[in-house]
Structure 1
Amino acid sequence: MSRPGFVLEVDAKTPPLMTMSGALLRLERLGVGTRVVYGPDADRSTDPVGLIDAALQAPLGVDPLAAQLSPATRLTLVLLDSDAPLPRPYFDPRRTLAERVLEQAARAGVDDVEIVVASGLRQRWSDAQVTRVLGDRVATSFLPDDLISSHDVTAETLVTIGDIDGHPVSVNARVADSDLLVVIGLRADHGQSCPLAEGITDLATVKRLGSADSEPEFGRQVCELIAAQIPVFSLVAVLGQPLLSHSLRFASRREWEWGLADRLAFAGARQTVAALPRRGAQLLHGTPRADYAVIDVIGGAHTAVMENARQVWRAANGVEVPGPADVLVTPVWGAAIDESDPIGNPLAAARHALVTQAGSNLGTPFVREGGVLIAQHPLRHRFSNRRHSAAADFFATVLPQTTDPDEIAARFELAAIDDAWYLDLYRKRFAPHPLRVFQDWYAIARATAPLADVIWVGADRRSAAVLGHRAASTAADALEIASGSVGFSPSITMLRGVGLVVGDVK
């Protein structure tokens, strides 16, 4: 069992600590009294088959999976895509989960089986991604017969299964026509109450789920409606912290425990990045791989599984933090944002800092209302022409006019989600749906609202200004800027780690 996380209070004897910014790794001395939150140690993965079989045979609230299968069963495996761990795993646990379910289906004589990726507004999966996640065995059995598909929120074949307060809810046609859904997912860091609802429903429903004035209760009701209309058996693997590849293993360890090999690897990484052109440095350290231990596998009724998985993940990765701080400092490492983008565009960086990192608490925020968030990222104005066209246009044309989420929703959202070019990229070229960038901004705006300021260290000043934030050259400069809101002796909490850590703020 790994060592639990803890909070280090910096004193005069504390060595320089590692910080992350884009693809860059640095050692910096932090101010005395700064509280640095370390996550639990990362463990190596072990074979999860025993845990999977136990979850299938003794599920929560429903009969064992084998008892629900017969030769006449129309079975659909739904792969949740909203919580894929980053950095990307060497071996995706969803492969073993799917294989064990398919083996039970084969023993029961089930021959009507399809796989649906609950991708929602995210980019649809290519054949290469299907093979990487599910393996050659599953891919070669299902892909040639078109038995693996990614959900399309704009498809004309969606089937209405009911309504909530007059709002009709439609889902993927294959899902609606199934006798049994087996939902396969990972609990790594997402906070959605029901990723299934966001992954397989229609555009109007997804739009309401993530609107500028989103209603958490509506998401719960959609999830309950799906489970009431279609039998659902969920199977979720709970993951630990990422253990990075050998060349970056030092980043998974505490600095005062670095050995000679760790120090040499860190020095080599810095020298290599300094010697390479910017693009080369991004490719070298921007897309690392990691190993993840499977802490537990939970199967059974969907709502019970998701809640239990959430509790297990929080118990395994939680750290008790003493009180909300005046200032929260969070690194933004590109490898933790987007597996296909080594650094991350400014919008992705903002979402990671404000929503994912700062929002990883158990109710009480890391930073007090009226406090300041300091994030470390270059915020370079770079977007993929193919994958991020909608985000690039949003950043270039929408945010310079207004950052107000209600105004953005009223003036710009409808035109973007009806844009033929954006939709073609989503349906055919593996880009996110254009609505996704709007919903990301709404989440960023909600997270920003309680703060007096958001300051980016080492960032492009124009990009920070477009976001409505500020930029500073150094951490000392950022604290000087923040002093106008929090004074000259603020309490400071810093999140340190490669993976996400849950903060139980007291």
Structure 2
Amino acid sequence: MKAIDAEGLVKIYEKGDPPLFLMNGEGFRFVRVPPGSRVLYPRPPIPGLKDLRAEIEKALDNPIGMPPLKALLKPGMKVTIAFDDVSLSLPKMRPPDCRQVALEVLLERLAEAGVDDVHLVVAVCLHRHMHDWEVRETVGKKIFNAYWHKRSLYNYDAEDPSDNIVLGKTEAGDIVEMHKRSATSDLLIYVNLNLVALNGGHKSVGVGLVTYRCVRSNHNHDAQYHSRSFNDPPRSRMHHIINRVGRYIEKHVKVFHIEMTVNTDTFPAYLGYMQTQETTWSALDKISARITQASLSCTPLALNRKIFFANRAPYGVTSVQAGECEAVHEQTLRNLYRQQLITVEGQSDILIVPIPYVMPYSVHSVMNPILVYAMGLGYMFNFYMNKPLVKPGGSIIFLHPLEFKFDPVHHPSYIELFDKLQETRDPAEVDRRWSDELAHNPRYIELYRYHNAYHGFHPVSMWNWGAHGMN
């Protein structure tokens, strides 16, 4: 393959080149593409920080736009620490999770300052509540054992009328309704693990800790359709609305943000060749890839998922920043883009997109047809800044086995929406007809609150997620 950029990340596929090794859901495919096709490769992983704990402490002592954390603490104050849920990271991070390290440092600082009224809350919004064992994996056994059983470590419940509060409305009329404990704390600390530009910033609190009435304004069809793209916040209507909500919250609540970025070191060492270009493979890499592909093609998809979920990514944390929301997030995005952005000249007529075995809402579950759609036309189509990779009127080919299977525990409302899609698949019409109906369904509210199910509105939001890509 011939490189057409200075970094060797954009290449032209030529006759005689080896086949591409592409993910295909819970397996892989060897694919030859027409000569002249462009092949895009990610930038190699940036080295991670050598001492994460020291970097977290440094960020707490030298925050951006706020006093040091120590100066904000005093004995007897009420503090809530919120953190991202199981949708991050993908794949799951090799222990200890960077959120665990940050929480350990924070809890030590709070104890030293005489702060003992502390709650830790998983900011799930309308995502499923994490299982206890998932929380334990994320925060570590020590924190879990100290806080879970006395109910000061828990999942946020967006449907608990006694633990949510309306702060008011933004200048545009958005209802701001959020977790009462967080809103009434003397200090709210948010710990964010940032994988993509979509996340972090005001989205942490302004989505993670709010109710359906609040999140509806930025997850409806209009907001999703006019976001160009989710990973280009200045061009994202969704982010404009989220920022309004977040700024309103921070007029009423003192929030100290911690954001951490990671590199792209996704696979364990024995699968390291998956992160390199096929033309650089050794003979052993080629044999390993063939064996892996052949083995996974002979085993059931459910078993393949278990194999993939058992692997932990050796991510390296590349930056830690703390302090005021927007100042912190600006620096986070710079560090994120340093790892992730590559330059592509011109759009394509046809885009081939391999879809992996997992997306944010299929962790420890199956990627049902709606989630495959959302991953393809929502997430992966929107991995761009400025312009999409495929031109208007072009075609996208997704590689995925598309198993017709739904998880009845995690995704019960998805089953109903999928049946309703036989009536219409137009995202605007789906949103208009069924958002409130599914969101207010008592059965789905019960399953969301007590049985680890995604909220009734969630599948509609996922259908909205692909509206721009579908167009």
Same fold (TM over 0.5): yes
Give the superposition deviation at 1:156: 0.4
Kindly indicate whether the alpha-carbon contact (under 8 Å) linking 1:87 and 1:242 is maintained by their aligned counterparts in 2.
Answer: no
1:183 aligns with 2:206: no
Higher strand share: 1
Query: Of 31, 34, 39, which aligns to 1:36?
Result: 39
CA distance in 1, matches of 2:116, 2:351: 53
Partner of 1:202: 211
Partner of 1:501: none
In structure 2, the gaps of 5 or more residues are 1-5, 224-236
CA deviations 1:48-88 (Å, max 9, x no partner) are 11221221111110001111111122111011238612111
8 Å contact from structure 1 (residues 113, 147) kept in 2: yes
Structure 1 residues 198-251: Cα deviation after superposition (integer angstroms, max 9, x where no partner)? 111122111122011125332111000111111111001111103312443321
How much does 1:292 deviate? 0.6
What is the aligned-residue RMSD (CA, Å)? 2.0
Report the Cα distance in structure 2 between the residues aligned to 1:16 and 1:365, rounded to whole angstroms.
25
The answer for the alignment partner of 2:79 in structure 1 is: 75
Map of 2:133 onto structure 1: 128
Question: Which deviations, in whole Å up to 9, do the C-alpha atoms of 1:136-185 show, x marking residues without a partner?
Answer: 11111111210012111111021122211444312101101100111100
* Residues 287, 376 of structure 1: alpha-carbon distance in 2 compared, 3 angstrom cutoff: farther
For the 8 Å contact 1:11–1:32, the answer to whether it is kept is: yes
Choose from 276, 301, 305 the match for 2:328: 305
Against the structure 1 CA distance between its residues 352 and 234, is the aligned structure 2 distance closer, same or farther, given a 3 Å change threshold?
A: same
Q: Name the counterpart of 1:489.
A: none
Q: Secondary structure at the match of 1:18?
A: strand
In the alignment, which residue of structure 2 is the partner of 1:364? 387
- Per the alignment, residue 390 of structure 1 pairs with 413
AA partner of residue 7 (structure 1)? V
Q: 1:159 aligns with which of 158, 165, 188?
A: 165
- 1:90-489 aligned at under 5 Å gives the runs 90-91=94-95, 92-157=97-162, 158-164=164-170, 165-192=172-199, 194-214=203-223, 215-216=237-238, 217-285=240-308, 288-338=311-361, 340-341=363-364, 344-395=367-418, 397-449=419-471
Deviations 1:384-420 (A, max 9, x none): 111111112211x211100122322232222211222
Q: 1:439–1:183: structure 2 CA closer, same or farther, 3 Å change rule? A: same
Change (3 A) 1:117 1:286: closer
Verify the 8 A CA contact 1:283 1:342 in the aligned structure 2: no
Change (3 A) 1:251 1:294: same
Distance change (3 Å), C-alpha of 1:286 and 1:103:
closer
Q: Structure 2: which amino acid aligns with 1:174?
A: R
Residue 337 of structure 1, CA deviation: 4.9
> d(CA) in 2 for partners of 1:423 and 1:371?
40
Q: TM-score, with normalisation over the residues of structure 1?
A: 0.84
Most deviating of 9-18 and 278-287: 278-287
Residue 11 of structure 2 is aligned with which of 8, 11, 18? 8
Residues 219, 285 of structure 1: CA spacing in aligned structure 2 closer, same or farther, 3 A cutoff?
closer
For 1:160, give the aligned amino acid. V
Instruction: Specify whether residues 327 and 137 from structure 1 end up closer, same or farther in structure 2 by C-alpha distance, changes over 3 A only.
Output: same
CA distance in 1, matches of 2:371, 2:56: 34
What is the match of residue 30 of structure 2?
Answer: 27
Asked if 1 retains the 8 angstrom alpha-carbon contact of 2:434 and 2:460, the reply is no
Cα distance, 1:284 vs structure 2: 2.7
One-letter identity of the residue aligned with 1:11: E
Cα distance change, pair 283–5 in 1 and its aligned pair in 2 (3 A): farther
Alpha-carbon shift at residue 34 of structure 1 (Å): 1.2
Partners of 2:87 and 2:47 lie apart in 1 by: 20
Q: 1:406 to 1:357 in 2, by over 3 A?
A: closer
Cα distance between partner residues in 2 of 1:147 and 1:210 = 29
Q: Which stretches in structure 1 are left out of the alignment for 5+ residues? A: 450-506
Distance in structure 2 (CA, Å) of the matches to 1:270 and 1:38: 20
Q: Secondary structure at the match of 2:284?
A: helix
- Please tell me the residue identity of whatever aligns with 1:403: R
